[in-house]
Structure 1
Amino acid sequence: MKKKYIWAIALSGVLMGSCTKLEPEFYREVTPETFFQSEKDVLAALNRPFTHASWYMGEDRWRLQEYTADNFAITTKGRHWYNGGENERYHYHRWTPDDGWIWGSWRGTLMGVALALDTKQDLEKLDYSKFALTQEDKDAHLNQLNTLAAYFYLRGLDYFGGMPIFTSLDQESLPRNTDQELFSHIEGILKEALTKLKKKQAGETEEGVLKQAAAASMLAQLYFNAEAYIGKPMYTEAQQLAQAIINGEYGTYTLDATWNGPHGFANDRSPEIIWSIPSQFNRLQYSWFYADFYHYNTREYFNTDMGANNGAHLTPSRKPDSTLYKADFQLGSPFETFDNTDLRKKPYKYLGNGGYEGMFLNGPHVSPAGAVIKGGEEYKDQPLVFRDQVARFSEVGPGKKYSSIAQLESKMSTGEENTGVRPVKVPIPPLSENTLRWGADNPVIRLAEIYYMLAECKWRAGDRAGAADLINSVRKRNFPGGVDPNPVTAANLDQDRFLDEWSIEFLGEGRRRTDLIRWKVFTSGRWWDHQPSGSAHLNRFPVPTEAISGNNNLTQNPGY
């Protein structure tokens, strides 16, 4: 029976407003058996679903994780960024089933599953010996695709709870499976993958291939958050897997010696990376965040030709009068949660030949070469000074709206063009070294996460000293000479410190909402300009209106 092969795939049922069927639009009709002529063709097909994963790991998915939590915000800046109140709805937890980021994430999840399933069905039919490939190669390829589908479903479970479980492209109008059914489906895929994926060997570079440790890490993540997903704590199971990964049972990995090793231009050689998505200038480039984070004129600081739209920034650590929010509530304040001697807290500076230091743009915006960057809105033609504060400081003074700083409000609607600290976790080279642009791969899973996961499991089991040792083994690389001025101890490692440590190490890596939910503070915690709703149903997003309108068998999540 012939199977139409999708080369340029467009999932019309997913993209065009319904989720009734994973139905591809065919651009050419050939059978897989005749299309594949070489190992290169096999690998090209295998890699296609991973290009979707590259897109999926940013944009709407990142926004749902970070702008709904305590570390990031898109404030209204004068005439810019109100966006019909969209940014405020997410910050205040007032989203609806009609919001675009939610629809994009539901659609993108099932699209990823469809791409993985389609490629798997094609590769299953091939005789790998014709391409000088082995049965072991075939098992690894098929289980990479299974594991990738499990990854998409794992994220879908996190965002929405139960989703329809597709096992082929021919199924139509499926109802949602239960949370437990989807959990078990993911678990089964990953357990099988552990026996058939290949292991990473010492010294092997990370090129985006899913190996045993990646599947083990996803399974650990599933168990780690099981209480939120299915109401059943499974920290013991997560601990066993995390320990096995650290022990090297699923491949050879070690912590990187430097904080920026997992994030820099050569991070494909970092021994810490368990799974990353390759990036290269104009080829699957990891760059979606650039326009959101940086000021219109920050291109002068980076000495690059790329423009930005000055939207996102860290939530403020300080009130308009410069006192700390940490005195009032523990969550948020991401910049001031870093110790002052932390190497990452330095201003970002490119040092040449791929080297750089620091991770933030804060304070006077003066380029490494000494050029003073000026504003274009509230501070037009004036030196830009980024503030770890949110307020209309430009409207204070004689004859202006406010007579003193004490009158200023700090909320989502009172930003300015210089509002907020800007992270630079992915290095930006100048034009003179433009061949490096977007050369840093996107680290999806790294060993530091496994250390922190194991630490939290130990902490929950009562081993606070063991948990502290694990966190300190990561923290020490962030300080000159490895001297940590504020190490974690059994005595100071409480819930607040743990949440701070997750925030510091994984700032901006698209996971904060999940961490807050696991610690049961996403709907009960307070942070800058955010009061707790107390509505636990907000731990899940609604099923989008567009999905339900295309499939009457889909049911809405409670509370929406």
Structure 2
Amino acid sequence: MKIITSSITIILLVFSFSACNNNLDEMLYTEVTDDQLSYTNAYQATGILYANMREFFDHHNWAGVQETSSDELVMPANASGWDDGGIYKRIHLHTWNSENEQMSAMWNSFYKGVINANRIISLFDEDKIPLSDGLTKEGILAEVRVIRAFFYWLICDNFGEAPLVTAVDTELPAKVSRAELFQFIISEINTAIPALSKDNSQQFYGRFNKWAAKALLANVLLNAEVYSGTSAWQECIQQCDDVITSGKYSLNANFRDIFTTNNEHSPEIIFAIPFEETVGGGFLFHMFSWHASLKAKANMQATPWGAGSAMAVPQFIDTYDPTDERLADTWLMGPQYAADGKTPLLGAYDRAGKPLVFTKDIPDGLYTGESEGYRMNKFSVKMGAMYNLDNDFPFFRYADILLMKAECLLRSGNSDEAATLVNQVRARAFKKDPQKALITGNELQQNSRYHYGYVEDYNLVDEGNTTPVQYGRMLDELGWEFAWEGHRRRDMIRFSIFTQKSWLSHKPNGDYRITFPIPQQTINSNPNLTQNQGY
């Protein structure tokens, strides 16, 4: 990102500001003093909350877990390493436990955001943070409450039952039910929305305005049946309609343009998490997916780690129409060349000295050759890229709004109207053959194209559960559009297949795994907490 507005600059510069003791394994929910949270203006105060979000995007935090626990991505070991005590393998196999470091990474990141938000709300209530730039106390408090609801949504989605803490002076808390967390999140967002700005200018880029809050609310409502036992399709449609009729956002003409550097000008991005390679780092998909030889592909200043690991599950790739432009725009495949486009890049391990050619098929989800598996191509890696990418992460975008509404219509019996919205999104993926972009409502109700089953030595040897996926083609559409964006685990749970189907080396391992365990150190430090069911 080259051009950064003043408010985003503040958000990025507070990256190194430590707002509290980050070791939440010790459950320090309250012990933060005012002198540790001293702000000179409201932007600085909210900035630390947005900065918390940049922790999500490495290989052992939220982004890595959402994708590699699903049927989309896997992180196998190879000759360069990538076993790390089996922590990635266990995510693919659904054999994780409360000691997996990914659990602590997510828990700590989410609750750090909650704790910071609680303290900042308290400081605003006590008029200890100056307002400036035309901001109102009502408006800034509404923004912080939505940010806190965002963190609680991630807690609810990933952990289910968890503590609900809203004050700075709180004893060690017990858990509340997932349904209670869901109701709190809905209430908080609805209460805050009237006071939020309708502006979607660069001043509000990377911040929760009214439309970003509605996108968040729509996502929560889309999963209402998972969280509370009762669906909310019409309520989700209403939030999507509000964003659509606002006229503030539109689809990018080109899919790739959403994910480049300087993507803060995309008309499609409703809420982004901004990154900047030197003062706002943390976005490093290329470092754990790319092979080290690809350093020369972009004349990078950093070297990707070993042979890389994060790669596509071949069964997921097989669902694409070969002419869908999102296939090549999302996945790095085939022969790899240096920045001149001519010099072949070479392997360094099991294919040492041989041309590096990324192939689709992998033997299983546990160990691969260095050139096996399609890698990340969705977020562009600019020439001279550093350890941290300069791209912003589009957490909510307009295609999300259209496809959420489409899914709710489909589930409500309005399949033709749903298809019209899906076709709007598909159109840019089939520019060379517009007829292929058209799908019918009846097709959206059909089974997924995904050939589920257990794989050994490149071959599917056990299909496992073969029950057709209801609205499976809708799930496919979501997969093609949102790969690498943290959607897949959540979508699979909503479509009732996350704990039912087999893929690659994964076999079903218990319905309780739709949520993750509370980190063991957290359980040990708080006698009022009990572990989630099944763990």
TM-score when scaled to structure 2? 0.86
Residue in structure 2 matched with residue 397 of structure 1 by the alignment: none
Please show how residues 162-177 of structure 1 align to structure 2 within 5 Å: 162-177=161-176
Query: Of 310, 318, 325, which residue of structure 2 is paired with 1:336?
Result: 318
Give the distance between the partners of 2:263 and 2:51, measured in 1 at CA.
19
Partner of residue 543, structure 1? 518
Q: Does 1:510 align with 2:486?
A: yes
- 303-312 or 370-379, larger mean C-alpha shift: 303-312
- Given the alignment, which residue of 325, 335, 350 partners 1:364? 335
Instruction: Give the counterpart of 2:267 among 271, 278, 282.
Output: 271
Which residue number in structure 1 is paired with residue 372 of structure 2?
419
The structure 2 residue matched to 1:214, chosen from 201, 212, 215, is 212
> Take 1:308 and 1:468, find their aligned partners in 2: how far apart are those partners?
41
Alignment-derived partner of residue 240 in structure 2: 242
| Partner secondary structure for residue 508 of structure 2 | coil
Structure 1 position 291 matched with structure 2 position 287: yes
Further displaced range: 495-504 or 448-457:
495-504
Task: State which of 311, 316, 332 in structure 2 corresponds to 1:314.
Answer: 311
Query: How much has 1:554 moved relative to structure 2?
Result: 0.6
Q: Residue 62 of structure 2 aligns to which amino acid in structure 1?
A: R
Q: Does 1:492 align with 2:443?
A: yes
Take 2:529 and 2:358, find their aligned partners in 1: how far apart are those partners?
A: 46
| Alpha-carbon separation, structure 1, partners of 2:236 and 2:42 | 34
- Give the corresponding residue for 2:422: 471
- Measure the CA separation in 1 of the matches of 2:154 and 2:24: 22
Amino acid in structure 2 at the alignment position of 1:451: L
SS in 2 for 1:297: helix
Residues of 2 paired with 1:527 and 1:8: CA distance?
A: 42
Change (3 A) 1:127 1:378: closer
Q: Deviations over 1:87-137 (max 9, x none)?
A: 221111111111110121112111110111222222333388x75555x63
**Deviation by residue 1:53-75 (Cα, 9 ceiling, x = unmatched):** 12235541112211111011111
Do 1:205 and 1:268's aligned partners in 2 also have CA atoms closer than 8 Å? Answer: no
What are the residue-to-residue correspondences of 1:94-493 with 2, within 5 Å?
94-126=95-127, 133-134=133-134, 137-201=136-200, 207-248=205-246, 252-285=248-281, 287-309=283-305, 310-317=307-314, 333-346=315-328, 358-367=329-338, 368-390=340-362, 410-431=363-384, 438-481=389-432, 483-493=434-444
Q: Indicate the SS of the match to 1:300.
A: helix
1:280–1:439 contact (8 Å) kept in structure 2: yes
Task: Compare 211-220 and 281-290 and name the one that shifted more.
Answer: 281-290
Q: 1:29 to 1:304 in 2, by over 3 A?
A: closer
Change (3 A) 1:280 1:78: closer
8 Å CA contact retained: 1:164, 1:176: yes
Tell me what 1:329 maps to: none
Q: Are the aligned partners of 1:429 and 1:436 in contact in 2 as well (CA < 8 Å)?
A: no
Q: Is the 8 A contact 2:332 2:358 kept in 1?
A: yes
Report how many aligned residue pairs link the two structures. 492
Task: Kindly name which structure, 1 or 2, has the bigger radius of gyration based on alpha carbons.
Answer: 1
Tell me if the contact between 2:175 and 2:529 (Cα under 8 Å) persists in the aligned partners.
Answer: yes
The DSSP-based 3-state class of the residue aligned with 1:492 is helix
Q: Say yes or no: does 1:19 pair with 2:17.
A: no
Residues 283, 389 of structure 2: 8 Å contact kept: yes
Residue 437 (structure 1) shift = 7.9
Q: Kindly provide the CA deviation profile for residues 130-182 of structure 1, in whole angstroms up to 9, marking residues without a partner as x.
A: 75555x63222111111111000000000111221111222121101122221
List gaps (5 residues or longer) in structure 2.
1-15, 446-470
Cα 1:154–1:145, aligned 2, differ >3 Å: closer, same or farther?
A: same
The letter for the 1-side match of 2:70 is A
SS in 1 for 2:441: coil
8 Å CA contact retained: 2:150, 2:216: yes
**Residue in structure 2 matched with residue 355 of structure 1 by the alignment:** none
Sequence identity of aligned pairs in percent?
27
The amino acid that maps onto 1:311 is G
CA RMSD of aligned residues (A): 2.4
Counterpart-to-counterpart distance in 2, 1:375 and 1:554: 49
Q: Structure 1: 5+ residue runs without aligned partners?
A: 1-6, 318-332, 347-357, 391-409
Corresponding position of 2:454: none
Q: Tell me whether 1:9 sits opposite 2:18 in the alignment.
A: yes
Secondary structure in 2 matching 1:304: coil
TM-score normalized with structure 1 length: 0.83
Q: Give secondary structure in 1 for the equivalent of 2:498.
A: coil
